Structure 1
Amino acid sequence: MMGGEFCGNAARSLAAYMVYSSYPGLNKIEDKYLVELEVSGAKEMVSCEVLPTQKSNEFCSKINMPLPVSTDEFKFDYENGSLNIVKVELPGITHFIIACDGIKDKQDFFTKFKSELNLDELDAFGLMFYEAHKNFLEPLVYVRETESLFWERSCVSGTTALAYALSYDKKENLSIEVNEPGGKLLVEASWCDGKIKSIKLDGKVTIVAEGTLHI
């Protein structure tokens, strides 16, 4: 990625495009393609499963996500209350899961949160505003290298952080469909022997355009 951060959606999309373009050497098992990728921000190879659909330009692309490096939970005072925040550090990016009920101005919250926690030392981080009653996640991602702040339509690493937090809290397997501005992601967390063994995310990828960029 542009700032060297990890992006799960970029990995899923590349895997789908490789199948779409009949990239040589892909491993096929039954009706699925297994794609191994080297991705910025991830220390190990990232595995994807790509399933073609009846539409030639549409695929179901599942990614086996890198597990968090560390997690933490803390309180953050905002306006007249105290918010419970879950910090999930993933390879290449750190996410903060925030129950956003009662936060009227999320941009203002970001400014205060970044300033008070001195987050400039992080290469990339996301504020994952989560509404549990709607199972709705709204991702806001900041990348230091490019000084960019962007409301993502969908965030795989942020959804991974959310799934990790929910599964760890309940101490059980998790399988939920998370609603995001750009659509839905199915996330599965496997809990075994007192810890999370794996997190996988699945969703549709559509090839909408092709072209040549002259630089």
Structure 2
Amino acid sequence: MKQEIDFIKVNPTQNMTILVKSNYSVEKYKDIASKMMAYDSVYAEQVGFIAKPANKQAAARLQMAGDEFCGNACMALAALIAAEKGLKQNDLTEIVLEVSGTDSLIMCQVKKTSDEYYCQVTMPIPKKIEQKTIKYDGNDLNIIIVRYQEFIHIVIEVDEFSKTVREKAQSLAKLLGVTLGAGLIGILLYNPDSYELAPLIYVPYLDSMIWERGCGSGTASIGAYLAWKKKGEIVAKIKQPGGTINVFATYDIEEITSLSIEGAVGIVAQGKAFIDVNQNNIVR
């Protein structure tokens, strides 16, 4: 039997995100997300579920389907909450979110423009950044490992985003997904000359691997890497297939001390999806 699922589809830098309002048990998130992300359904790169927060300071909890953290989904939910509050053009509001994949509350600043929302989001600080040379595919590969509480990003500097480079990145993501046991593996192909990023996000639990058109958390990791490399403050505009995301990072006394991103968000659709869901797992 088909079940109606209330959703909003949001566009943060073309990283198409579905936010689900329907209240289902966590055990069904994977199934619901997989079906809604499919080409023959609502179709998007990721799904987040809106839930009640445990912390009273937060306006809502964002629970990603793979229990990962997602910066763009934070911007998406913040924009939605601002819209529902009736934020007027050129007005500014601050929204606090509780988000999967981090113990820290996420502060979102939202400004309404003529036809979209401009969001700045505080991001989790990496636990560690380190440079390593690994043997991969018979060659030495220089990588930067950006470690977080629940996920790992690998920064690889490249001259081009060729098919061969992308295929190797996909194989590496699969390998690391098996060996590291992280909830999310991001392979961030970065051209330092042009400030271009091609982000590959792999969520082992969902077996979801996507070349994202825009990646908020990946942009934050690039910013953290650049600040770590410079040993100081950076402000950068990181170009991605779906547009540009700005990143701000500060470094002091051997660690990243602040990290935030900002970008444009559009609310593009709202409605009901019809998918098969086990009725025993519905929580009303």
Q: TM-score, normalised by structure 2?
A: 0.67
Q: 1:94 to 1:146 in 2, by over 3 A?
A: same
Q: Which residue of 2 aligns with 1:20?
A: 83
Deviation per residue, 1:90-116 (Å, 9 max, x gap): 233210000123663422343156437
**Matches for 1:169-184 after TM superposition, within 5 Å:** 169-184=229-244
1:79, distance to aligned residue in structure 2 (A): 5.7
CA distance in 2: counterparts of 1:116 and 1:151, whole angstroms: 17
**Range moving further from structure 2, 69-78 or 158-167:** 69-78
2:213 pairs with one of 153, 169, 178 = 153
Task: Give the Cα–Cα distance (whole angstroms) in 2 for the partners of residues 133 and 62 of structure 1.
Answer: 25
Question: Out of 86, 90, 94, which is 2:144 matched to?
Answer: 86
Residue 43 of structure 1 pairs with residue 106 of structure 2 = no
Distance in 1, matches of 2:173 and 2:123, equals 27
Q: Report the residue type matching 1:21 in the other structure.
A: E
- Deviations, residues 30-64 of structure 1 (Å, cap 9, x unaligned): 93211000111111211100011122xx0101100
> Helix, strand or coil for the counterpart of 1:209?
strand
How far apart, CA to CA, are the structure 2 residues paired with 1:89 and 1:203?
Answer: 23
Report how far residue 146 of structure 1 moved.
0.9
Tell me whether 112-121 or 10-19 shows the greater mean CA deviation: 112-121
Q: Secondary structure at the match of 1:16?
A: helix
Count of aligned positions: 209
Structure number with the bigger relative contact order (C-alpha 8 A, sep ≥ 6) is: 2
> For 1:14-41, what per-residue CA distance to the aligned partner results, in whole angstroms no more than 9, with x for missing partners?
0011001117xx9xxx932110001111
Name the stretch that deviates more: 97-106 or 160-169.
Answer: 97-106
**Separation in structure 2 between the aligned mates of residue 171 and residue 120 of structure 1, nearest angstrom:** 28
Instruction: Indicate the residue corresponding to 2:261 in structure 1.
Output: 201
- What TM-score does the superposition give when structure 1 sets the normalisation length? 0.87
Moved more, 102-111 or 85-94: 102-111
Structure 1 portions without partners, runs of 5+? none
Is the partner of 1:212 in helix, strand or coil? Answer: strand
Contact 1:97 1:127 in 2 (8 A): yes
Aligned to 1:6: 69
- SS of corresponding position for 2:194: coil
* 65-74 vs 79-88, greater mean Cα deviation: 79-88
Please report how far the alpha carbon of residue 76 of structure 1 lies from its aligned counterpart in structure 2 after TM superposition: 2.7
Alpha-carbon spacing, 1:154–1:116, altered in 2? closer, same or farther (3 Å): closer
Share of identical aligned residues, percent? 32
Q: Partner of 1:74 in structure 2?
A: 132
Q: Which amino acid in 1 is paired with 2:269?
A: A
Which residue identity is paired with 1:155?
Answer: C
Cα 1:118/1:73, change in 2 over 3 Å? farther
